[in-house]
Structure 1
Amino acid sequence: MKYYQSLADYIEKLWDKGFKLTDEQVRFIYFAKKYTNADEWLACIALEKTLKLKFSFNGSFYISLLEVLNEHQVKTKQEVIQILKQKGIF
C-alpha cells in the first residue's frame, strides 16, 4: 500500500498545514519506525491516528500503535481501522 511517498513527505505535509513537530519528536518517530521495523506507510498511518486521537504527538501511544499494527500484520487502512475498533481505541 502506498499511503504517502515517504514518512518525510508526510511530516513535511503536516508542517505545511501548520502542525510543527519538534526535532526530538521527529527523531522519535524515526526511532519507533526502525525499532518496530514498520513500513513507511504504516508509520504514516500510525502518526496520523496518533495525532487525530491524542490531538498532539504522544510518543508512547505512537510506538504502541506501531507495535499493535505490526503484530496484526495489517496491509490496508481498512484493517488499521478495524484493529483500532477491536482494541477500543477508535
Structure 2
Amino acid sequence: MKKNHALAYFLEDLWSRGFKLSDEDVRFIYFGKNSANASEWKTIIAVKITLKFQQAFDPSFFISVLEHIAKPNIKSKRQAYQSIEERVSSSKLPLQ
C-alpha cells in the first residue's frame, strides 16, 4: 500500500466491512486532514477513535481528536494513542 493513499484504502476497507460513511463524511475527513495539516496515519487514528467512542462518525469529535494528535510532538502511533488515553482519563475529551 502506498503511504500517500493509506487513508483512501482505509476508508475503502471500512466500506467493505459494512461501515458506510457518507460522501459528506469522507469529504469532511479530508477537509479535517488538510485543515489540521495532519498526516494520513494520524487522520486514520482519529477516524478509528471517533468510530470507537461515538459508534458513528461525529465530525466535531473527529476534529477534536485530530487536532489533538496532529501536534508535531506526537511522532508515533503509540504516542497518539497514549495522548488520547491521557486526555480521556483527565476528561478533557468530551465523550457523548
Identify the TM-score tier after normalising by the shorter chain: 0.7 to 0.9
Distance 1:3 1:48, change over 3 A: farther
* Counterpart AA for 1:39: S
Q: Under a length normalisation based on structure 2, what TM-score does the superposition of the two structures give?
A: 0.83
- Identical positions, percent: 43
Aligned to 1:31: 31
Structure 2 spans left out of the alignment, 5+ residues: none
Return the offset for 1:77.
1.7
Distance 1:75 1:3, change over 3 A: farther
Aligned to 1:80: 80
Deviations 1:32-51 (A, max 9, x none): 00000000111111101110
Return the offset for 1:71.
2.4
SS in 1 for 2:38: coil
Q: Under a length normalisation based on structure 1, what TM-score does the superposition of the two structures give?
A: 0.88
Aligned to 2:58: 58
Q: CA RMSD in A?
A: 2.2
Structure 1 spans left out of the alignment, 5+ residues: none
Size of the aligned set, in residue pairs, is 89
Higher mean C-alpha deviation, range 40-49 or range 75-84: 75-84
Return the offset for 1:3.
8.1
Q: Distance in 2 between matches of 1:64 and 1:58?
A: 10
Q: Which fold has the larger relative contact order, with Cα–Cα distance below 8 Å and residues 6 or more apart in sequence?
A: 1
